[in-house]
Structures are given as structure tokens and as C-alpha cells.
């Protein structure tokens, strides 16, 4: 069976880069949601910026789908990624409803530089020079940060305010957790067969994503 007698790449990386991973998944913004101390203007700022991010995430995921179709050794990968596209469709609709609930006018949100930098980084990964292994690994990393972060706000002992629970459920629910786990298995399967160069690039991409995620949460404070 897979992973019984050799180190799984993504696990190795998350151990090696544990501090930055915790920085991305246990950020003060998330801890503030979890203990109820979050400033609602921060939450609204995050909501508006993340809507912009998610719209830019769609073409990235479409590029992963295209790469899977061309390069994958397993047809089932397409179904998983297509599920991700469907989830993004729901997410965009959810953002619109949620924003009107909070009085956030999505059309007039100005993307912040940090957001633009992250979107531009993802756009760079849509290049045909970036192979499927790198793309699916990056996809796993982006989704997993949100899953781990928001699931933490729903764990026993958390004091997440009622009006924020729905947001936490969106990424913290078990189905999304299962989906992230499937993305991880695909990434690890590909990394196992990849060249040293591709593995090294995928690890650097992971680090960039974790840094962008920390910056993204920082943006909610409005001090940038």
C-alpha cells in the first residue's frame, strides 16, 4: 500500500516547513474567529478580497484541469478537479449572498497589492512550462490552508460567533476535508514519480503559497 514504507512527500514538507505552515493555518485572524474576538471590519475586508481571489482562482483551476487531461496517468483525477470547479461555482454564489448580508459591495472592492501578487503568482503557474505535478501540488496547498484554518474554528472548545460559523463550514466541513485529502493523494502519487527538478520546484511553490497565504490573512487587519 501507498505510503507504508516510504516518506510521503507532502507530509515531509509540512513537517520541514511547520512554522510557516502554522503561520498560514493558525494566523491571528483565524484565532480571532475561533475565540470570537475578531473585528468584524476585518472579516468584511477579508470577504471582499477573497471574492476577488476566488474569481482569479477559477482560471488557475481550469489550467490544472487542462494539465490533468493532457498529462495524468489516472482518469479519476479529472473528476476530482471538476468537483473543485463545481465547488468554486458554489463559492462564488455564496460570496455574493454573504456580501449582501454584511453590506459589502463586491463591485466596488479594490484589490489590494498583496491580493494582486498572489493572483499573479497563481497565474504564473498556468504557464504550459509548469507541469501537472507542480500544478496539482499547488492546488492542494491552496485549498488545504483554508481547510485547516477554518476547520480549526469549528473544533471542540472553539467560540466562533454564530454569524461566522457558516463561513467556517464552507471550508472546514468534512466533505471539503475529504476533497483536500484526495488532492493530497494525487499530488503525492505524482511527486513520487517526478524528477528531482520538478519535486524541488513544487516545494518552492508550496513555500510561496504559504507566504502568500500569511500575507493574505495579514491584509484583513487593514494596515497594508
Interface residue with ligand HMH, options 33, 45, 50, 150 (CB under 6 A): 50
Q: How far is the CB of 146 from ligand HMH (least distance, A)?
A: 4
Tell me: does residue 106 bind ligand HMH (CB under 6 A).
Answer: no
Q: Among the candidate windows 14-22, 74-82, 142-150, 182-190, which touches ligand HMH by CB under 6 A? A: 142-150
Residues 165-224 close enough to bind ligand HMH by CB under 6 A: 213, 216
Tell me: does residue 146 bind ligand HMH (CB under 6 A).
Answer: yes
CB nearer to ligand HMH: give 55 or 165.
Answer: 55
Tell me: does residue 143 bind ligand HMH (CB under 6 A).
Answer: yes
Tell me: does residue 98 bind ligand HMH (CB under 6 A).
Answer: no
Q: What one-character-per-residue DSSP string does the chain give?
A: -TTSSS--HHHHHHHHTHHHHHHHHS-HHHHHHHHT---HHHHHHHHHHHHHHHHHHHHHHHHHHHHHHHH-S-THHHHHHHHHHHHHHHHHHHHHHHHHHHT--GGGPPPPHHHHHHHHHHHHTTSTTS-HHHHHHHHHHHHHHHHHHHHHTTSTT----HHHHHHHHHHHSHHHHHHHHHHHHHHHHHHHHS-HHHHHHHHHHHHHHHHHHHHHHHHTTS--
Residues 2-31 close enough to bind ligand HMH by CB under 6 A: none
Q: How far is the CB of 18 from ligand HMH (least distance, A)?
A: 19
213 is catalytic: yes
| Site residues (vs ligand HMH, CB under 6 A) | 50, 53-54, 142-143, 145-146, 213, 216
Amino acid at each position: 500500500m501507498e505510503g507504508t514504507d516510504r516518506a510521503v512527500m507532502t507530509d515531509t514538507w509540512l513537517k520541514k516547513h511547520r512554522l510557516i505552515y502554522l503561520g498560514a493555518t493558525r494566523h491571528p485572524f483565524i484565532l480571532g474567529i475561533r475565540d470570537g474576538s475578531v473585528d468584524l471590519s476585518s472579516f468584511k475586508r477579508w470577504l471582499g478580497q477573497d471574492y476577488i481571489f476566488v474569481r482569479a482562482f477559477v482560471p488557475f483551476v481550469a489550467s490544472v484541469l487542462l494539465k490533468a487531461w493532457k498529462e495524468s496517468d489516472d482518469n479519476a483525477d479529472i473528476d476530482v478537479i471538476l468537483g473543485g470547479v463545481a465547488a468554486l461555482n458554489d463559492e462564488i454564489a455564496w460570496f455574493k449572498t454573504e456580501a449582501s448580508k454584511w453590506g459589502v459591495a463586491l463591485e466596488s472592492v479594490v484589490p489590494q497589492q498583496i491580493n494582486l501578487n498572489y493572483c499573479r503568482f497563481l497565474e504564473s503557474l498556468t504557464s504550459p512550462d509548469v507541469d501537472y505535478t507542480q500544478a496539482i501540488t499547488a492546488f492542494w496547498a491552496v485549498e488545504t490552508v483554508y481547510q485547516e484554518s477554518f476547520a480549526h474554528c469549528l473544533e471542540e472548545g472553539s467560540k466562533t460567533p454564530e454569524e461566522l460559523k457558516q463561513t467556517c463550514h464552507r471550508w472546514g466541513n468534512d466533505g471539503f476535508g475529504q476533497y483536500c485529502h484526495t488532492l493530497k493523494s494525487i499530488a503525492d502519487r505524482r511527486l513520487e514519480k517526478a524528477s528531482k527538478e520538478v519535486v524541488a520546484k513544487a516545494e518552492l511553490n508550496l513555500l510561496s503559497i504559504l507566504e502568500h497565504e500569511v500575507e493574505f490573512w495579514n491584509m484583513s487587519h487593514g494596515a497594508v
